[in-house]
Amino acid sequence: MTDRIRVLIADDHPVFRDGLRALVESAPDLDLAGEATTGAEAVDLAATGRPAVILMDLRMPDVSGIEATRQIVAADPTVGVLIVTMSEDDESLFAAMRAGARGYIPKDAERAQILSAIRATAQGEAVFGASIARRVADFFAAPRQPTAEPFPGLTERENEILELIAQGRSNGDIGGQLGIASKTVRNHVANVFNKLQVADRSQAIVRAREAGLGRDASKRYG
């Protein structure tokens, strides 16, 4: 039997929260792990309720949904945070991605879309509503002019590795490209993540591409 997906709802609007609860309880493969009405409650319940997926509103009392997401993912990167919000501006979208959210869908999404997004998030997939997905695709496709030194805190080698990460290269590819051992690559990657204050590769790619890295694989390493 497939494991049921534990879902935590974090939203300060009672009517919408009630609707999400009813949706979760109606699904045979989902279990309600709890409900939070503030960002701080979401962080606490994420630690005690063992959710696989958190439905997170962005505009929460005390701690924002973005900051709550950052704290939750930092404590447990296996938790999938799915932002469910009315805020579809680029600033909120990319702030949520940098914080570690796996998905971002509008509150007016159909019930079936929300259920599908919950299941995909539990599987580790990146999930975006149709209009949001188009903006993400446009963002990564648009040419950007990199600054001379977008991440001055990184060493020259770390900047080289970040460039290759932004191109979607694996650690093995990076080691082969730069002629260094896999263990050395892992150490550099860990240093890059620490200096950029990101939790994983996807967040590092977002930061790097926002700075204009990774656009042309042949420019530096062809």
Angle formed by the axes of helices 14-26 and 111-122, to 10°?
70
CATH number of the structural domain spanning residue 207: 1.10.10.10
Distance CA 22, CA 203 (A): 32
CATH number of the structural domain spanning residue 60: 3.40.50.2300
Q: Tokens at residue 6, please?
A: 């534990």
Is the pLDDT at 86 greater than 60? The verdict is yes
Is the pLDDT at 160 greater than 80? The verdict is yes
Distance CA 10, CA 17 (A): 8
Is the pLDDT at 133 greater than 80? The verdict is no
Confidence at residue 84, expressed as pLDDT on a 0 to 100 scale: 92
pTM, 2 dp: 0.62
Average pLDDT over residues 103-113: 90
Confidence at residue 218, expressed as pLDDT on a 0 to 100 scale: 41
pLDDT band at 17 (very low <50, low <70, confident <90, very high): very high
Distance CA 164, CA 99 (A): 22
Is the pLDDT at 89 greater than 80? The verdict is no
Residues 183 and 117 in one domain: no
Handedness of CA 47, 194, 196, 185 (dihedral sign): negative
Residues 85 and 175 in one domain: no
Residue-range definition of the domain harbouring residue 174: 156-221
Is the pLDDT at 97 greater than 60? The verdict is yes
Average pLDDT over residues 178-189: 90
How many domains would you assign to the chain?
2
Confidence at residue 222, expressed as pLDDT on a 0 to 100 scale: 39
Distance CA 75, CA 69 (A): 10
Average pLDDT over residues 90-116: 86
Residues 59 and 20 in one domain: yes
pLDDT band at 34 (very low <50, low <70, confident <90, very high): very high
Average pLDDT over residues 8-22: 95
